[in-house]
C-alpha cells in the first residue's frame, strides 16, 4: 500500500525532530532549478505570484534567498516533522511510536510543488510553493507542466502492479499525478460531517481526517482497501450507501 497526501503551508523549523534518521529527496536538482527562478523574484513579485500578504512575501523571499544545498540536519528538517497543517494535526507524527516510523517511511508520500515527491524522512528547507502556482520556468507555464510525468513515474517506480494506492491529497496536488498510467488501484477516502442537517465536506475536518486515516493505516498495519472501511477515529464511520469501490465515504 502507498498513500499520498498534500504538504502544508504552515511549518515548524524551530523545534527539533524526535528522530535523527533522514533521507534525501529524489528531485533536489529540480527543486534547485525552481529555486533559481524564485530567488530572482522580489518580495512584491512573490506576493503577487502567490496571492499572499506583503509580510508573507517578505518571509518567503528570505526563505528563497537562504535555500541552499546540501541539506543537513543543521540547516533542514525531515518533511513529516516540518509540516504542521491540518492534515498533520490529524497524523500527529510526534506521538507515533518509533517502531512505526519505518512503516510510515515505506508507505507515505508527500506531494510538493517544490520537491515533487517526498518521503516522510526526506530533509527539506522552509519554502512556500503550492502546486497550483503559475510559476513560469523557461517554456513551462506552471508547475504541472514543469513536473510533467516525473511525479507519476516516481510513484510508479515504487508500486507493484495492482498495489493499493490511497489518495488522501487535495485535488490541487493530485492533479500532478496521471491516474491513467498509475499502475495501482486508486482508492480515495472522502470525509463528510453533518452540519445543519446536511452532509458536507468541511475543509478543516476533512483535512484533519486525511491525517487521521494515515495514522489509522500505520497503527493497524492496513494493506487492503477493504480494511480501510474499519476507520473509526474521532467518530467517523464508513457509509456503504454513499460509497463506491474507489471512493470510500466516511461520515459523522
For residue range 71-120, list pLDDT tens digits in order.
999 999 999 999 999 999 999 999 999 999 999 999 999 999 999 999 99
How far apart are alpha carbons 62 and 127 in whole angstroms? 10
Domain for residue 51, yes or no?
no
pLDDT at res. 21: 97
How many CB atoms lie under 10 A from the CB of residue 108?
A: 25
| Contact present, 49 and 125 (Cβ < 8 Å) | no
Domain for residue 59, yes or no?
no
| Contact present, 124 and 71 (Cβ < 8 Å) | yes
Q: What is the mean pLDDT of residues 50-65?
A: 98
Tell me: the pLDDT tens digits for 173-212? 999 999 999 999 999 999 999 999 899 999 999 999 999 9
Q: What is the mean pLDDT of residues 67-73?
A: 98
Domain for residue 156, yes or no?
yes
Host H or E run for residue 164: strand 163-168
Domain for residue 90, yes or no?
yes
Tell me: the pLDDT tens digits for 29-46? 999 999 999 999 999 999
Domain for residue 87, yes or no?
yes
Range of the domain at 214: 2-26+78-251
pLDDT at res. 161: 85
How far apart are alpha carbons 240 and 245 in whole angstroms? 10
- Domain count across the chain: 1
Domain for residue 231, yes or no?
yes
| Contact present, 131 and 115 (Cβ < 8 Å) | no
Tell me: the pLDDT tens digits for 221-231? 999 999 999 99
Transcribe 94-110 into DSSP letters.
GGS-GGGHHHHHHHEEE
Q: Indicate the DSSP class of residue 96.
A: S
Mean pLDDT of the chain: 97
Domain for residue 145, yes or no?
yes
Beta 247-251 vs 184-195: how paired, if at all? parallel
pLDDT at res. 181: 94
Q: What is the CA radius of gyration of the chain?
A: 18
Domain for residue 122, yes or no?
yes
Tell me: the pLDDT tens digits for 124-172? 999 999 999 999 999 999 999 999 999 999 999 999 988 999 999 999 9
pLDDT at res. 162: 82
Angle at 19 between CA 13 and CA 76, to 5 degrees: 35
Stated pTM of the model: 0.97
Amino acid at each position: 500500500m502507498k498513500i499520498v497526501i498534500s504538504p502544508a503551508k504552515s511549518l515548524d523549523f524551530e523545534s527539533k525532530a524526535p528522530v535523527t534518521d533522514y533521507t534525501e529527496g529524489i528531485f533536489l536538482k529540480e527543486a534547485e532549478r525552481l529555486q533559481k527562478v524564485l530567488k530572482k523574484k522580489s518580495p512584491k513579485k512573490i506576493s503577487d505570484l502567490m496571492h499572499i500578504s506583503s509580510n508573507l512575501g517578505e518571509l518567503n523571499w528570505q526563505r528563497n534567498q537562504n535555500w541552499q544545498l546540501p541539506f543537513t540536519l543543521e540547516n533542514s528538517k525531515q518533511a513529516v516533522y516540518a509540516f504542521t497543517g491540518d492534515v498533520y494535526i490529524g497524523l500527529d507524527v510526534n506521538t507515533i511510536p518509533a517502531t512505526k516510523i519505518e512503516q510510515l517511511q515505506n508507505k507515505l508520500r508527500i506531494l510538493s510543488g517544490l520537491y515533487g515527491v517526498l518521503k516522510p524522512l526526506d530533509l527539506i528547507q522552509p519554502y512556500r510553493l503550492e502546486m497550483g502556482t503559475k510559476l513560469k520556468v523557461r517554456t513551462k507555464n506552471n508547475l504541472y507542466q514543469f513536473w510533467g510525468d516525473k511525479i507519476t513515474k516516481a510513484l510508479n517506480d515504487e508500486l507493484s502492479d495492482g498495489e493499493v494506492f490511497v489518495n488522501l491529497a487535495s485535488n490541487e496536488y493530485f492533479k500532478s499525478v496521471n491516474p491513467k498510467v498509475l499502475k495501482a488501484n486508486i482508492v480515495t477516502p472522502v470525509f463528510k460531517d453533518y452540519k445543519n442537517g446536511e452532509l458536507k465536506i468541511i475543509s478543516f475536518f476533512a483535512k484533519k481526517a486525511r491525517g487521521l486515516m494515515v495514522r489509522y493505516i500505520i497503527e493497524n498495519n492496513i494493506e487492503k482497501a477493504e480494511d480501510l472501511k474499519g476507520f473509526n477515529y474521532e467518530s467517523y464511520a464508513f457509509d456503504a450507501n454513499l460509497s463506491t469501490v474507489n471512493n470510500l465515504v466516511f461520515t459523522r
